[in-house]
Structure 1
Amino acid sequence: MLEGVNVALGVTGSIAAVKTVELAHELRRQGADVRGVMTGSAQGIVHPWAVEFATDNDVVTEITGRVEHVELCGYDGWADVFLIAPATANTVGKIAGAVDDTPVTTCATTALGADTPVVIAPAMHEPMYDHPGVLEAIDTVADWGVEFVDPRIEEGKAKIASEEAIVCDVARVAGERSLAGNQIVITTGATSEAIDPVRVLTNRSSGKMGRAVAKACYARGADVTLVHGVVGPQPVMRDGVHPNGELPYATVRPVESAAEMLEATREACEDADTLVSAAAIGDYTVAGSDEKIRSGQDLTLDLEPTPKLIDELRADHPKLPIVGFKAETSGDEAAMIEQARQTLSRAELAFVVANDASVMGADATKALFVHERDVARYEGPKAELGGEIADSIAAIVGDA
């Protein structure tokens, strides 16, 4: 997500500075090069050696005759983004007043003057965050184009945002924003049809692919609505599943049944520029029992087909670009392409991503980009495939 991006990481004197090492590691895992800048107060919480270890670069702890602030954040400086995480109330106020009395505030003033993108992740006690002067300072700096990553309000504290949220906003600020101004609706996850109050019909979808597409579209500047179904039978530990339904890169509309997913997607697509139908929507529903069905008896379920979401949305929006997904189990590439092209033609899709159902729940995938006349192959992490799909969407809406 951050391949080739240079991030200058400013660290100030919040106790959340203890998270700096892991944040630096995550930025680097996402492809960024990172260099640390620390205030004196931050050095009392986390040692510069720890930040040096995490970034694999020397850390700026004072501004010297080498004019480190200009080298990092000035015109033609090293940094593509200046990230301050955590940022104290003191630091935000100083930035708003152009006060340069720490390495971090001096780098911030330099970055703002040189139009180097700045991202700020505040962290402080909640009463400080609610102070009128602090809120005014945040509004002032935000009006200058600085991106704020909102803190999590918990236990009387405005806690620093998650690493995922910070990384997503850094990627959004650093990227070309090829989808800026676009509303992207993405369906993902499984649907679940109630047999009785206890039992359901569902499938093995984890929703990872749809979330990867959503994150990639957000990083490219889109506003994303994620219509998220249930997560099918998976191991207890599931990376990327957010039980509270909140995601830093998308507005989430949680649904359960195929009917709920269709209704929510219809509503979300009223103002959409593109629909990505990545969900594994159940093909059948059943008239469920209001009472638990007792075990130990022969049972026959009468299954009824569910509406095809892409067909319904195509009827509603004849001109809307729609990206489809097609999962097969045959392992026959030619047959997979043929099935994908049938769907492509029937619903007049922009393109279809076809894969084998065996990748459900996995972090990696093999996929085919099936267009009317050509086919492209992909093998690798779903996160990177999400980026490929987002770039293909950008090409489509850019030509529209």
Structure 2
Amino acid sequence: MNTIRTTLAGKEIVLGITGSIAAVDGVKLAHALRRCGADVQGVMTDAACGILHPDAITYATGHETLTRCGGLVEHVTYCGDGGSADLLLIAPATANTICKIAHGIDDTPVTTFATTAIGSGMPVILVPAMHESMYRHPGVCACLETLKTWGITVVDPRIEEGKAKIANIDTIVHETERVLSGMPLRGKSVLITSGPCRERLDDVRVLTTRSSGRMGKELAREASRLGAEVWLVHADTLSVPHVRNVYAESAGGMRESILSLCAEQTFDYYISAAAISDFAPAPYEGKIPSGQTISIDLLPRPKIIQDVMQAKNRPKKVVGFKLGWNSREEARHLLDAGADMVAANTPDALGAETGAYELMTTETSVHAEGTKAEVAEILWRNLQ
């Protein structure tokens, strides 16, 4: 499903496309950037035009694709001092283009835009794509290192089948979001719990909740977009991209993982967004026979957030989630116990794509409502 986001709303991005076969991904990339709210202007080299027709990029961006720098000095209009663009993204960037940019050679529209953008101090992202042997060439490697020292962001390729293939579109968009966010959380460490726990009932059954883990994942993605290094503790066997995934299935496993991580370092933020089990059944050995009525003893589990707040390496800021019809009252108790913020919500949000939350501190209360991604943006905006 293609999701509409606002992470790039109001941003103008110049998309430079050079002569790699990965140029064919330009249409999908332009669409993905626009779905995040960006205004995209395409610029193509002659070599790129031999692979992908400029009309395809014109269709994808809604603007006439630039294939030459003319009398309107478009490279200055967009990327010069006071230019209208916010970012130059070159994807794909060939070995030829990378080395030209590193040596100030601008004999194609894309390299001319690059020279202008670098000279004006505009953010630039390069996404290399070429054969692996070319990517290993010492001259290409040296040029990439030079560009990095100039503050240019290089999105590493995927090394597959003897090729340095262009990074996937989600990664390119994510790096674009990071650069244009200004990365206010750069250098910060974030620990987040997400999703349901599964408590063993017998050898085949578990007790769990309706939690989808969507809220925790969106909080992790947003923290990464803002420049943080993120650890996400969850029971989902599918890894969440751009963060460090830590697998923990039960409340006990989650507690062990969290306390172990907190013993190793002091996190700047801990966000307890998981639906952590308050109770676990007394485990039944074997499989409970079907067709009969049974009683199950539910044993209380420790409150992990309390353990974290009392740990020697207590995170600098602790955020809890309180779910229930009296969640706001329970949130106040958690604030009194030392939490810095509590997101209170009713059970309607559990497992849903949207939700309504009260982001409460000891002094303020902010209403956050919308998709889980939108709520994550609001929460981080109020937490920094």
Greater CA drift, 385-394 or 171-180: 171-180
Q: TM-score, normalised by structure 2?
A: 0.91
Instruction: Give 1:155 deviation, angstroms.
Output: 3.4
Q: Where do 1:51-62 residues align within 5 Å?
A: 51-62=57-68
8 A Cα contact 1:225 1:268, kept in partner: no
| Secondary structure in 1 matching 2:323 | strand
User: What SS does the corresponding residue of 1:366 show, helix, strand or coil?
Assistant: strand
RMSD: 2.0
Give how far 1:247 is off.
0.7
Shift in CA distance, 132/255, structure 1 to aligned 2, threshold 3 Å: farther
How far residue 275 of structure 1 moved from its aligned partner, in angstroms, is 0.7
Share of identical aligned residues, percent? 45
- 1:318 CA drift (Å): 4.8
Q: Which amino acid aligns with 1:354?
A: A
- Which residue among 335, 341, 347 is the counterpart of 1:351? 341
8 A Cα contact 1:314 1:320, kept in partner: no
- Structure 1 match to 2:253: 260
1:222 is matched with: 228
Contact 2:354 2:370 in 1 (8 A): yes
Secondary structure of 1:77's aligned partner: coil
Comparing 317-326 with 164-173, greater Cα deviation is found at 317-326
Report the counterpart of residue 367 of structure 1 in structure 2. Answer: 357
1:382 aligns with one of 369, 372, 384: 372
Equivalent runs, 1:42-191 vs 2, <5 Å:
42-191=48-197
Shift of 1:293: 4.1
Per-residue CA distance 1:13-32 (angstroms, 9 max, x = gap): 22222221121111111111
Cα distance in structure 2, aligned partners of 1:296 and 1:152: 53
Code of the residue aligned with 2:334 in structure 1: it is T
Q: 1:251 to 1:303 in 2, by over 3 A?
A: same
* Separation in 1, partners of 2:19, 2:289: 61
Identify the range of structure 1 (312-321 vs 100-109) with the bigger mean alpha-carbon deviation.
Answer: 312-321
Q: Map of 1:293-312 to 2, 5 A cutoff? A: 293-312=288-307
Task: Name the structure 2 match of 1:234.
Answer: none
Partner of 1:398: none
Deviations 1:191-239 (A, max 9, x none): 1122334322221222211121122222222222222233xxxxxxxxx
The one-character-per-residue Cα deviations of 1:115-169 (angstroms, maximum 9, x if unpaired) are 1101122222333333333322222211211112222233333332222221221
Distance in 1 (alpha carbons) for counterparts of 2:252 and 2:193: 13
Question: SS of the residue aligned with 1:326?
Answer: strand
**Distance in 2 separating the partners of 1:379 and 1:246:** 23
Deviations 1:97-123 (A, max 9, x none): 222121111111211111110112222
Query: Which segment is superposed worse, 371-380 or 275-284?
Result: 371-380
Q: Following the alignment from structure 1 to structure 2, what is the Cα–Cα distance between the partners of residues 172 and 308?
A: 34
Q: Partner residue of 1:202? A: 208
Question: In the alignment, residue 300 of structure 1 is paired with which amino acid?
Answer: S
Q: Distance in 1 between the 2:111 and 2:227 partners?
A: 27
Are the equivalent residues in 2 in contact too, given 1:188–1:280 (CA < 8 A)?
yes
- 8 Å CA contact 2:31, 2:60 repeated in 1: yes
C-alpha separation between the residues in 1 aligned to 2:101 and 2:378?
37
- 1:304 to 1:133, Cα distance in 2 relative to 1, 3 A: farther
Cα separation, 1, equivalents of 2:331 and 2:64: 52
Give the superposition deviation at 1:244.
Answer: 4.4
Superposition deviation, residue 300 in structure 1: 3.4
In structure 1, the partner of 2:275 is 280
Stretches of structure 2 lacking an aligned partner (at least 5 in a row): 1-6
Question: 1:289: Cα distance to partner?
Answer: 4.9
Indicate how the Cα distance of structure 1 residues 190 and 157 shifts in structure 2: closer, same or farther if over 3 A, else same: farther
Residue in 2 aligned with 1:245?
A: 239
Query: Residue 37 of structure 1 contacts residue 60 of structure 1 at CA under 8 Å; is this kept in 2?
Result: yes
- 3-state SS of paired residue (1:271): coil
Paired AA for residue 134 in structure 1:
V
Judge which range, 118-127 or 165-174, deviates more.
Answer: 118-127
Shift of 1:246: 4.6
CA contact (8 A) 1:229 1:279 kept: no
Q: Which sections of structure 1, spanning at least 5 residues, go unmatched? A: 231-242, 395-400
